[in-house]
Structures are given as structure tokens and as C-alpha cells.
Structure 1
Amino acid sequence: MTSTAVNFFSTILLLCILINSSATDVLRINQTLRDGHTIVSQHGEFELGFFTRGSSTNRYLGIWFKKISYGTVVWVANRDTPLNNTSGMVRIDNKAILLVSNASNTIIWSSNYSTSVNNPVAQLLDTGNLVVRDEKDGGQENFVWQSFDYPGDTMLPGMKFGKNLVTGQQWYYSSWKSVDDPSTGSFIHRMDTHGYPQLLVWKDSKIQARTGPWVGNRFSGDPVPKANRIFLSEFFIEQREIYYAFHLLNRSSITPVTRLMLDPNGGRQRLIWNYQNQEWTTYRTIQVNDCDRYAPCGPYATCDPNNSPKCACLRGFKPRSSEKWEAADWTDGCVRTNSLDCDNGDGFVKYTGVKLPDTQQSWYNLTMGLKECKSLCLKDCNCTAYSNINVENGGSGCLLWFGGLMDIKVDTEDAQSIYVRMPASDLDESKRSGVRRILIISLTIALTAMSALILFYLFKKRKLKRKGKFCSHLAERLSSNEDENLELPLFDFRKIVKATTNFSNDNKIGEGGFGSVYKGTLEDGQLVAVKRLSDSSRQGIDEFKNEVSLIAKLQHRNLVSLLGYCIEEQERILVYEYMPNNSLDSFIFDEKRRLAGWQRYYSIINGVARGLLYLHQDSKLRIIHRDLKASNVLLDQDMNPKISDFGMARSFGGSQTEANTTRVVGTYGYMSPEYAIDGLFSTKSDVYSFGVLVLEILSGKRNRCFEHPDHNLNLLGHAWRCFNEDKLKELMDETIVKPTDHHEVFRVIQIGLLCVQEYPEDRPEMSSVVLMLNSKIALPNPKKPGFFTERRRNERDYSSSKRILSSSYDYSITAIVPR
């Protein structure tokens, strides 16, 4: 062979070696990636392979920068299960990416896909995202798995930080143990979605720091943004997802690269790559002083790092413990100097330039204006503050707080304002003019005697007039023959006083927003329930007339019977048949639920369904209850259910099937989305409430107070999840269900989910519900429930005066923000 031929073949062999040794960005099903080899993204931005940190011999599979900052690790697969030698190898099959120890053939780490793939390939993208897709999909982003869904300590452009409300998937960040140990550290940076979303840093089980809620152009705890040409920050509140993300504005060889990092000490930093110095530069450190720790001053106090002492109570508040406060222990915070007086006109004090308080106990609406927001807060005595959500373009959205205001930081550059509720006695009198103050004092002195006489005269006159007007107007309404004569007994007030032993507390069997209910015994020995409306009752004359006129016409075994009424002495009293087993909520949410088996609860569900069917279809007027809930279903001595409390009910005539109201009443948690948001009620809104009630009976859990260790969904969301994952046993209460009942219980769960579907047109009529409960006809698959991602609340009924849940509108906010 000539020397020319030898050189030719040598050149060919060298080219083959170079081609075979060149890096690729794809790992296929018949390939193996061994320790010492890597795959590189298409344009060389990132590299995947095995690495070691510091003096440790542990080996990890990870992704790191390649073109810049070579070796800076951004993701680790087996961070908590390292290899102790170089025998590791990676392969892919149609179910998972597998990291295997070649020495023992042990699986060290696995990705696990949600769906099986026929021709899977693992590909490292130039974004730093390791993805698995079907090879036939080409470059489309139809991934069955991606490393971006399982972050470590680093957030890269294009990654999501938040929560998938449907699957429960959370995108959060956890620190390394140390700079040389990538195993999971003590700190977690996570989005909290209880109330208006905000970012929290946890150390083990305690909140360490809080970034604050998104306010349109940044998170409330971040500095006021300045224009930048590097990245775009975005925040999305959508029907399926809530998340934060950022993107590079331009991609080129000279575009600065940025990343967010949670360091081993819990510090959060935004880093920018400095091409000139070839190093990472700190663009922003998010936690810089003591006021950036969570709630260092306790509730109702501000933290100002530029003041000494740094903690100060809000106006109208004082330290809870003076001794601790003077000793520089501010953690107990502050309490009101004077209590709120909701009935006598509370007001608000405006604070500007502060980080908004903790929003875990809050409610929000993205479209409501500030004026309406204030009005809504004033109507709810539990509302402690309000503000806009978006600070841009004059402000928009409504955010309400309930309970103590925690973690308020003073920031004079911040344009965000919050309005804190105060009693009228504590409002700043200095805002009133001196002339007006003098006039008020003078007029007060001059007219004191005259006012006393006039008030006394008006009081007596009004009392007599009110009594006469109320009684005559109500009697006229009750005795009108617009429909048919009610023929209801008019009870003597003195007899009711005697029957209830002067409304003794020993006879009180219930209490609600409209007054108290007492057990009474009439002269003939008949037991009755006496509903006495209080003077401050939210049920006015219209509601009282409504309840009397409606119930008097209703005759059904599953509706409570009204025996009579009383309108003497300015009293408004209803007398009902007595239900010895009280209300359903006192039974199903208590240890007493175990006393009855599944067949008894099935009978209760059937009875409530038949009662609703009568209201919607078989009574003379079509009646919408509007407040069906467990506490409004009473149980007689044989545990037969009877629907009660018709003060909020509305009747339809003719072919009318729906109506709209600007006064939304009822109990949130049982209220359908179209009614709670738009005031639209119909028979389908009662169907929704019935579906919630069914799921509460089956589980023994309240919808709004439901908690689960694996997710933050409410009861409806949990039921939907169990149905989709064929895990309905997790929903039902095994203490009342026998194995032989499972099939029937599963069917009733499905019926309940059909009733709580998001859109009213998808929900069945009560006639269909009764048919489904009492036959074996095939059931359609339910669609997604409405309001299935509520935040958790404490255990109590939430009436119309309480806060309302956040709606799940698709909504996004975009801003160019330096972080």
C-alpha cells in the first residue's frame, strides 16, 4: 500500500472518530450515556452529564452552563441519592429516564412519565430544559416530561414558578445543603395560593421570608422597577394555572444571561452574567435586612429598617405586651386601642409606601374598582383592610384582608397603598377644618337640650308608628288574596314567651345571622321550634314576608312545616314544627355520623332531592331556595330530612327559569359560580348546592374547610381528582360505608360531581337527579367543577356577609421588571 493510500485511510478513520465523538443533544431508547460522557444542547448553551462538587466523591447527574460560566450547575437529578463511584449510566425507555449504577444494576433515580411513549427521545434544549418527547413529534413542545417541572435551587428564563390548579403540580425551589452539596437543604421558595397568590420562603416548617403579592409590575416586597432591556417578568392567574415566569428579551451571543437562585442560607438573588469580567454579578439580593424576615414586628405593626426602633404600631393600635415591646421583643405585635364598631360607621386610614401584608387570609377580585372594594369591605365586619391589586394606570382590582395584618414593611419608594379599618373614634380628627370643629362644638352645646327633647319625642312617635306600620303592612301582605289565603295561625306573643320560658338560653337550639331558634312547648303539649328574629337581624321585612308567604303554601314531606307567626311588640317570630334531631350539619360533621349507616344517608340524600324537585317543578310556583346547605336541612325523629329557611328563596311564575340580582345572598361554599360572580340564579344554582351537600355527606368534610396533606384543593377539587384518578375510596367515609355499598356510593359521588359542574347548562335538572338516584341508568362523565380551587378557611358557616372566594377568570399581567 502506498503512502498516499495510508494517509487517505488515516484521514477517513480520524474523521469517523471525530464524528462519533462529537456531542449530540439527544439520547434515544437504544443508547446509553455513561459517566465521563455528556450531551450538549444544539447551540452549546448547556451540557448534561455527571459531576462532583468539592472534595466529595459523590457523583451526580446534572445540567450546567457550557458556553458561559462553564460548570455552574442549574439542575440535579439525583440530588438526594448520589452515586459513590463513576459506574453511573443513563438510559431511556418508554416509561422513564433511568439513572442506573452499572456496578450493581440498581436504579438510582427515575423520571417516570405520566404517559407511555412509543419512540421516546430525551433532548437537552438551549434553554437548559431536559425534555422527553415522542421522536415523531419533531421539535414541537409536546413534552411528556421536562426537568423544568422539577426545579432545584435555580430558576432559568422560561421556567414556571407557581401551581397547576388541576393536577396539583407545584413549581418551587429548594436550596442546596451547601455550595458543594446539592442535596435538598432547609429552605424552600414556594408560591402560596391561599388567598391572593404570594411568594414565601420556608425554613423547614416555618415561614422565613415573604416576597409579597404581585401588584401589576412586581411583587409587593420588591423594589420599584426600573426599565431594563434584559428580561420580561410576567404573572399569570388563569383557570388552570397560577405562576410567575421571566423571559429574556433578546437572545444573542452578547445578551446578558440572568437566573434566580435560592442559596443554602435561604437568600434569594438575581444574578447577571458579566461578559467583560466573566463572572456572575448580583443584580439584586431580595433579602437584605431584618425587615425582610417574616413578620419581625408581629400583627398590626410596621417594620422600617431606617428607624430605631424598627417596629412601630399602626395608628390606633398599641403593643400587645408593653414589657416585651420595651425589651425589643416585638413578635407579639399590636392590638387595637379601641374595638371596631361595625354598626356605627368604621372608617379607614390610608398607608402609602408599604409592602402589602400577608395575603393568606384574603380575598381578591381582579376587575373590581377601589370604590366598590371599599364598600365591600365596609359591609363585612370581619374585613380589616383593602387595597388595589394592580398599582399601574391609576390602580385596579380589589384585595381584602381578614384577620391580623402581618408582615408590613415600610418602603418610601413604593406607590402601593393600603386602607386599614379603624373605628370612627380613632379616625384622624386633624383632617377636619378648625372652623368645622368650632361649629360642631358650638352647635352641640346649643342644641343639647333641644336635641334630647326632640329625640325623645321622635323615638316615642317612631316606635308607635313603626309598630303600627309594620304590623298593618305585614298583616295586609300576609292576608292579601293575591294568591290564596294563607290560613296561618297568628300566635299570641305572651303564649310564645311562656312556651319558651321567656326565651331561656336553656331552650336555645340554634343561632344564626337572622336571630335565635328556641325549643318551645305549647299549652296543648305540642313541641315547636320558635325562630325569633333579632333587632339587628339581616332578615328585613321583605325576607320575613317572603318566608311566611312561601312556606305557608308549601306542603311536602321533605319541607319543614310552618305552624304560624307572631308580629306583636315589634317582634317577628316564626313557629315551626320541632325537629328533634336538629340540623344535618350537627350530624354529618360530628362523631354522631357513625351512628347511621350508608342506607340512612342515602335516604337523606334522596329526601333532599325530592324536596328540591317539589320546589322546582311540582309546587304551584317554581321556587329557588338560594341557601341550601347542611345547616338548613333539619332531621325529624325518624331522621327524615326537611329543607328549611326560605328567607332567601325566590319564586318564579309561568315559564321563567332564571333571574339576576345585584344582592347576592346565601352561603359561599354552597353557592354556584354564576350566582356568586354575576348574581344569576336559577334551578341550576340549587342543583349546584345540592351537589356540594351530597359530597359533604359522603365524606363527612366541609367543602370550605377541607384540607388534604397532598394538595390544597377544597372538597370539590379533591372529589374531582379522586374521580379522574379512580381513587373514589379516598373520598368516602369508610366508617359509614360497607364494602357491599361501594358501587352505589361511587354512583352517588358521580351524581354529586354532575351537579357541581362549572357551567349551569351542564348540570342536570332535579328531576334527572331523582331519576339517577333511584335507577340504574348510565351516568355521563362529569366535567370540571366550579370553584374547585378555593383556599382553606376556618370551620364555620360563611354567610353572605362574609368574604367571598376568588373567581377563576383567565387573567394575565405583564410588565418589564428588574428583579
Structure 2
Amino acid sequence: MIGGKSLNSLVLYILVVLYSCPLRFCTSRDNITSNLVIKDPETIVSKGQNFKLGFFSPVNNSRRYVGIWYNHNVSEPTLVWVANRDKALNDSSGTVMINEDGNIVVMNGDKEILWSSNVKNTKMNTSAQLLDSGNLVLRESSSGHIIWETFKYPFDSLLTRMKLSHSINVVEKATTSCGNGTCGPFGICNSDNSPICSCLKGFDPLNQGQWEAGNWTSGCVRRTQLDCERNNGTSSGSIKDRFLKLETIKVPDYGDRQPGNESECEGLCLKNCTCIAYAHDVGIGCLFWTGSLINIQKFSAGSDLFIRLENSEFGHKKDFKLVIIIMVITALIAISIIIFFSWKWMAKQRGKTISSEHGEVRLSDSVDVSLGDDMSNVSIEELPLFKFEMLVNATDNFHDGNKLGKGGFGPVYKGLANGREIAIKRLSRTSTQGTKEFMNEVALISKLQHRNLVRLLGCCVEKGEKMLVYEYMPNKSLDAHLFDQSQEILDWRLRFSIIEGIARGLLYLHRDSRLRIVHRDLKPSNILLDNDWNPKISDFGMARIFGGNQDHASTVRVVGTYGYMAPEYAMEGRFSERSDVFSFGVLMLEIVSGRRNTSFYKHESSLSLLGYAWKLWNEDDVVALIDARILSTNTSYRAEIIRCIHIGLLCVQELPKDRPNISSVLSMLRSEIVELPEPKQTAFAEKWSRSHTGTGSSQQSQKSSCSLNNVTLTVVDAR
């Protein structure tokens, strides 16, 4: 029998225990069953009190997660596994339970499943248990067989006996010398080393004094800023950041997961400027880290971690193959320079043999000041000089049978010199024009090299003669094939290739050559065709050089060919790159239609080709403009031909600002610019008479003959 005093003491003890430990918290258990549910903020603890499972919130964050952590640190748990990291709870209504399908699930207050162990086809009586190793296992109750465990689905931390990707056994050193965050941000801990902490490669201690004193918690800072950060977060191919591989590492905490193979992980991280490290595991995929890297440890076995560093942190090893290549290239350059100056000296010596009657011809003697100071220093002796006798023999004394054509400059002959076919343009002695153009062409084309520009081989200035020697074009000029019914018909694929080649040549003149050139006389007779039908722009006698910041110029001496001159040039003497674009547009419409722009002048008050094309465009009957000879052979190119007419109309707009530049034209031709703007009314679209053409007249524009170099030179006084 218990005395009254003893009974009172026992009742008081029971009341104290019940008061201090509510019923649902008093049972320290390590399992979850269909009848035992964990509600926030309840937890379960492993049998040996090493690990705890329950609800937690990260620092400065009110969202709730379910995880496993070490039981030794209550204030700031060291997490080893998190369930619902992708779907956090917004309040404390969450529960962890065994679902009716046998899986462990995390639910919110609305019974929505935020996470599941996702074992397929369980439909059995199961229970979960938190083991003293930190492994949460799901067992089939009757047999005790484990059907799911967290150790097969790790996140950021590696624990003793954990199998990473079912194959890598990781044996962790004791959680005493390399505790959580011992080495601070960007520090790495190795319990076999002394001291145990060191900075990652490319990083230095934040506080050197504390570091030397054995206090490493302040961590390390990056020595060289990432190239990505210097470029304001750009992820283009020019970024020079690289990744340093660290082997057998306990990876940092709180990495973000994303599916992907090992090669994809690096690319994904490199594209994201905030990504500073990545790892890969077959069972997990890609893991990415941003911000600071905390709790990195070196193990005898573990994962590979890749740290992002600026390229210079990797150092530069001598590449002897590269050294050899550089030496060879340097030697070749030196030899080339020696050969060049030797050739120039020999050319100068040959130039001195020119008759004293004519003396040395320099650009400063004849060329316009508008060509600039650089051109006034160019001498003809910079070109190979052909002997007059050689050219006489090559052309059979300039026999009429070798004459290819004639223009305002003079006749053009075919010749054969040293087994090579050449074309010789001979300045007419009786012509009042040509000296200026001769020197202009010497100055310009000798400095230009492009597959779509005719190549100048040399010149001759002897015995009162001035001649230019070119490579011979066996397929003559473009006008011969467009307008001469007796010549071979050019199919559409060849015509389109010619259009594109002319555009490439113009792009080189306008943008890519070391001199910015405006041709000023682009027309079919100045487009020569080589043996492979490649177009080559010729006749640079009227071309002009633009300065670096110059976008247009004016002249009182308008030269060119009516029908191809832009209105601002023909009427006001103003020319620019857009003037060449206008001429190119006329040329495109001629190539498509097979008709000369000037062919419409035969009837008084008739439309020009531009006006005719504009009329058909507005009537939605632009097919009528297409050369019947190409449309009848193949109709599959009709859409491409119509697109070229569209581009041609854009090029012949009245105002220069409404015309595209030649770079845009090329993009349109290649369909890199898919949507084309609607053209406005073209220049010269109205019916006109000859009085609209100005006070001067063309020497050749009325003629229909075709030639290799049918030079048409027009001089018009500016209004």
C-alpha cells in the first residue's frame, strides 16, 4: 500500500511529464506505417539517435521541406537528403505517410502529393524506417524486403555505405575533422592533410591572418574574375571560361538537379553565367551550383566535381608543334617580303626603260583630286609592264579579226602571249576621253582581288600608247547572252548564279576591300563571264574611292550610261553605294526579263523597263515580265524568279534611303531575310520622252550590239 505522500508525489511526476511532453511527441520512433503518420513539426529519429527525419525550413525562408539531417545539431541541421526540394510546402499543414499504393508520400493540407517514392506496382502492405546509417528504407511488411531506399537516390551528401549510382562505394572519413563548413566558401577539406583546409585552385584566402591561425571559416575568394562576368553575363561562344576537374569529392550542399548526360552538363553550365560548378551521376543526371560552394571534402572515393575558372588560371604549356608552325609561317612571310621587294625593284628598273618621250606616268599627273592622297602616289610601275612589241605580236598587229569590241575608251582585242589568252584594252589616240579613266583603272583594279572582279594582268605605256591587259573571258559579256538571240540561252539557275556573283563582287567593292569603291557604270556589257560562267565586274575607269566616313559624293562631271544611272546621280551629280545598288536593280530586271532597259525607248512616251515592271507588279501580273525562254523550260523556279523581281524593284526605288545596301540584297537573295518589304513606286516609272534624259546624250545606249567590253561613256553637265 502506497502512503498518501508517496501517491501525491507519483501523481505530480506523471502530470509534469504529460505537461512537458504532449502525447504525439513523447514517442521516440524510427518508423512510418499506414497507421503512424508524421505531421509538421513531428519527427522520427533513428534507433541510435544519429539521424532525424522531419520538416524544416532553410535559413531566412518560411517554406517547408521534408529531409534527413544529423541529430547532433538542432539549431542548424546538417542535411543529407531532401524529399520535396522541387515542390516546397507553403505552410505547416504537411504530412509524411504511407499512401494506399504502398509508397512514402509528402502531402500538403489539400491532400495533394508533392513527393512520392514512386515505386511502381507495389499494392502491398509496407512500412518505412529511418536507419542509423541515415538511410530511409521502404520495406514490404510481411517479408521485410527493401523495395526502395534513399541511398539509391542521393542528393548532395555522401554517407558511409551509400552506393552512388548503384556502383561506387564511398567510404567517408569521420563528420569530426571535416565538419559542416569547416573550410568556409570555396575551401576544400581533406582530413589526411595538415592543415586539413585549403583553397580551391584559382582561389585565395579571404582573411590570410585567420587562415594562418587555423580559422578557415571565412573561406576563399576568386583570384580572377570569370570571363562571363566581365562580359555582363553573356553566354556566347567567345567566353573563355573553362572547368577544373576535382576527383573523388564529396560535392557541395544544395545543388540543383537537371536531366542530362556528362557532355551535356558542361555545356548547360557554361551557357549559364551564374553556374560556377557542376557534377554528373548516372542515377541523378546533372548537378549545378550557383553562389558559394560550401562543405567540399576530399574522399578516397567519391564524385568528380568541375569548378568554373577563367582561362588564364590554367596556365599555358609550351606547344612545340605550335612553335614549329609559327617559325615556318614567319619564315614564309619573310621570304614573301623579300620576293615582293625584289620584284618591285626589278619592275622599277624595267620602268626606267620606257621612252623618255613619254616619261614616267604617275596618277598625280592625271587623276581627280577626289581620288585622295593615297592614290596620287601609285605608279604604273607597280604593275607588270608589257612591251609594246609583245602586244603587237599577240594581236597580229591589232588585226580586226582579233577585235572583241569597241567603246568610248577604245577598241578591245584578243591576244595570245606566252601561251596564255589575254584581252587588251587600247586607248584610242584620237579619243578626248580615256587618259583619266586609264589611270583610274590602274590605280583601282591593281589593288583589288576578288573572284567576281576581272583581273588586271598589267599595262603598256610605250610609243604614245596606253593599254591595259586583262585575263581573257571566253564567254564574253553578259549582254551577248541576254539580248542576242543567236547566243546560247542562259537557264534560270545560271542567271541566278550570275546575279549572286555580281552582288558578291559589289559587296567586296563597297565593304570588304581595303578601298571603298563605287563603280558608277554597272551594266551587262561590263559583266564578263569566264569559262565556268562566273561573272566578273569589269571597267573601273569611272569608279571612285570613298573615305572611311564618307557615304556620298558629288561631281560636276556625270559619267555613265543612261538607263542604269540612279536619278540622283543623273540629275544632280550625287553618287553613293546606293547608286550602284540602283544599277544592280536594273541589271537584275534585265536578267529576269531578257530585255534591255533601253529597248523601251523606241516608242515615244513609252514606259521604261522599270515602269513596265512596276505596272505589272501593281496589276499582280509580274509573271508577264519573266523571259519566256526560261519560264517555258522549267516552271519550278517561278517563286524564286518573282522574289528576284521583288528585290530588283526594291533596288530601283526613287530615293537612295529606300534602297537596301548590297549586304542586305545578298541576304535577301539567300533567303536569310525571309520577309521582304513592299516596294514603292520605282524611279522613272512614269511615261517619259527623251527630254527627260538630260542635256547630254549617250554615245552607245541606243545601240544593240554586244561586245566583251562595250564601254559606254556619257558626259552630262550637272543641273
Q: Please indicate, yes or no, whether the TM-score normalized by the shorter chain is above 0.5.
A: no
- Which structure dedicates a bigger proportion of its chain to strand? 1
Larger relative contact order (Cα-Cα within 8 Å, sequence gap ≥ 6)? 1
For the aligned pair, the TM-score class normalised by the smaller chain equals 0.3 to 0.5
TM-score by length of 2: 0.45
TM-score by length of 1: 0.39
Greater Rg over alpha carbons, structure: 2
